[in-house]
Structure 1
Amino acid sequence: MNAGAIWAIYRYEMGRFFRTLAQSFISPVISTSLYFVVFGAAIGSRIDEVGGVSYGAFIVPGLIMLTVMTQAITNASFGIYFPKFIGTIYEVLSAPVSFLEVVVGYVGAAATKALFIGVVIMVTASFFVDLRIAHPLPMALFLVLTCVSFALMGFIIGIWAKNFEQLQLVPLLIVTPLVFLGGSFYSISMLPQAWQTIALFNPVVYLVSGFRWSFYGMADVPVAVSLVVIAGFLALCLAAVWWIFRTGWRIRA
């Protein structure tokens, strides 16, 4: 594996992140803080606790997941789409660099950005609520797997998209609604039985549930199932990326 090529792509993408710090970092942190203040103040004043955890602390894992997923997708999709848009992707494809090295460079940078923002939001939330992490290692595992999986998904979207508008379709119209309906701000056990059954078809439920369990030891679904779901999603994205580079779909055409 060409470590130099991976590092060159990774360093360039991280450099773009710091050059546009206001858009890439400050904006999502402020947006998430506003979510936290509004939901924590407006709804938290009416709901004291959920499963023995204060409502303000209960929504923190969901807010982190919401931000991490959307940021990983956005950074990865733009990172690969922009070279396509200006034509520099052909320089990468003609270089002695394998598709695996290209993916590791772009996806690794996007996952790092999302992970960094997620950690900052976690630290920021600790100033508002009494945040505790019952299982630090599983928490880190869920966070890293989510960052990498959704960065891969964003990479696929960036290759699929034909214009800048399409880059926002999946995050805005699919991922964000699934996160809001995935138990980010409530426990699905609070729903009527019929809606609980319907909610189990939402894959985000398993991610949020497993991540929240790592904080407070409470989960809507078994933790093992959550791990299987995120691992399966990661494998599916890897298979899709492999097929894209094998066939040249939306890259060489």
Structure 2
Amino acid sequence: MNLHAIRAIYLFEMARAWRTLFQTIVSPVLTTTLYFVVFGAAIGSRMTEIDGVAFGAFIIPGLIMLSILTQSVSNASFGIYFPKFTGTIYEILSAPISAVEIVISYVGAAATKSVILGLIILVTARVFVPYEIAHPAAMLAFLVLTAVSFSLFGFIIGIWADNFEKLQFIPMLVITPLTFLGGSFYSIDMLPEFWRTVSLFNPVVYLISGFRWSFFGSGDVSIGISLAMTLGFLALCLIVIWRIFETGYRLKA
């Protein structure tokens, strides 16, 4: 394992995050803060509890997941796409570093940024809404697992994309709508039976439900199913990335 190469790429990606601090950290935190102000403090005080949890606290896991999913995909996809765009990807591929080490470097940096962002949002939420975390260790584990899984997904998108429009297509037009429709602001048990069944085909439902379970000890689906779906998505992404490096898909001209 070439730890020196992993460290070099990882630190380079983290340094880019600090150079664009407003875009990678400040902007998502401000956007989520507005959600807390509008939905948590203003509207939440006028809404009834959901499963015995105040509405303002109920939406915290969903809002964190919204930021984690979009930022993980965006950070990882841009991280690998930019070397392709500038042509430096060939220097990386010809260097004495394996595909595993490349993935660990880029995905590790993207996941680290997302976890930091999630923790900042978690602390910020305390300013607006009181809440308790029933299972702190499970919450942190689920946060890291989700960040890594969607950073891998973003890595795949970054390799697949051949222009900046495609780079933004999946996060903006797929991930964000699925997150909003995945129970970020409501429990799917509140939906009519038909739409509740349809919602179960949305993979983000299982992520939000599992993360919400770590906060309140309950979710729309069991924690076992949520964990299995997340691990399954992680495994699928690893298989796709393995095939990409094996075939050289959009890496070798």
Q: TM-score range by the shorter chain?
A: over 0.9
Instruction: Tell me, yes or no, if the aligned pair for 2:71 and 2:114 is still in contact at 8 Å.
Output: yes
Deviation at 1:32, TM superposition (A): 0.8
Secondary structure of 1:185 counterpart: coil
Aligned pairs (5 A) from 1:35-184: 35-184=35-184
Equivalence for 1:203: 203
Q: Separation in 1 of the partners of 2:146 and 2:33?
A: 21
Letter in 1 for 2:110: A
AA paired with 2:206? Y
Q: Give distance in 2, aligned partners of 1:163 and 1:43.
A: 40
Structure 1's unaligned 5+ residue stretches are none
Q: How far apart are the structure 1 equivalents of 2:243 and 2:116?
A: 30
Specify the SS of the correspondent of 1:116.
helix
Q: Which stretch of the first structure deviates more once superposed, 202-211 or 40-49?
A: 40-49
Give the aligned residue type for 1:234. L
Paired with 1:3 and 1:161, the residues of 2 have a C-alpha distance of 28
Q: Structure 1 residue 42: deviation in Å?
A: 4.7
What secondary structure is seen at the aligned counterpart in 2 of 1:127?
helix
Segments ≥4 residues shifted beyond 6 Å: none
- Report the Cα distance in structure 1 between the residues aligned to 2:146 and 2:3, rounded to whole angstroms: 24
Give the residue type in structure 2 aligned to 1:144. Answer: V
- Could you say which residue in structure 2 is the equivalent of 1:21? 21
Alpha-carbon RMSD = 0.8
Partner SS state of residue 49, structure 1? coil
Alpha-carbon distance in 2 for matches of 1:165, 1:154? 14
Q: TM-score, normalised by structure 2?
A: 0.98
Q: Which stretch shifts more, 134-143 or 110-119?
A: 134-143
- Uncovered stretches (5+) of structure 2, i.e. residues with no partner: none
2:72, 2:114 within 8 Å by CA — same for their partners in 1? yes
Residue 43 of structure 1 and its aligned partner are, at CA, apart by 3.3
State whether structure 2 residue 215 is matched by structure 1 residue 236.
Answer: no
| Residues 40, 129 of structure 2: 8 Å contact kept | no
CA–CA distance in structure 2, aligned partners of residues 190 and 45 of structure 1: 19
Secondary structure of the 1:38 match is helix
* SS at structure 1 position matched to 2:132: coil
SS at 2:68 equivalent: helix
Contact 2:45/2:56 (<8 A) preserved: no
Q: 3-state DSSP class of the match of 2:46?
A: coil
Structure-2 separation of matches of 1:46 and 1:174: 31
CA displacement at 1:41 relative to structure 2: 3.9
CA distance in 2, matches of 1:42, 1:137: 31
TM-score normalized by structure 1? 0.98
CA distance in 1, matches of 2:38, 2:170: 25
Percent identity of paired positions between Structure 1 and Structure 2: 65
What is the total number of aligned residue pairs between the two structures? 253
Alpha-carbon distance in structure 1 between the residues aligned to 2:96 and 2:70:
32
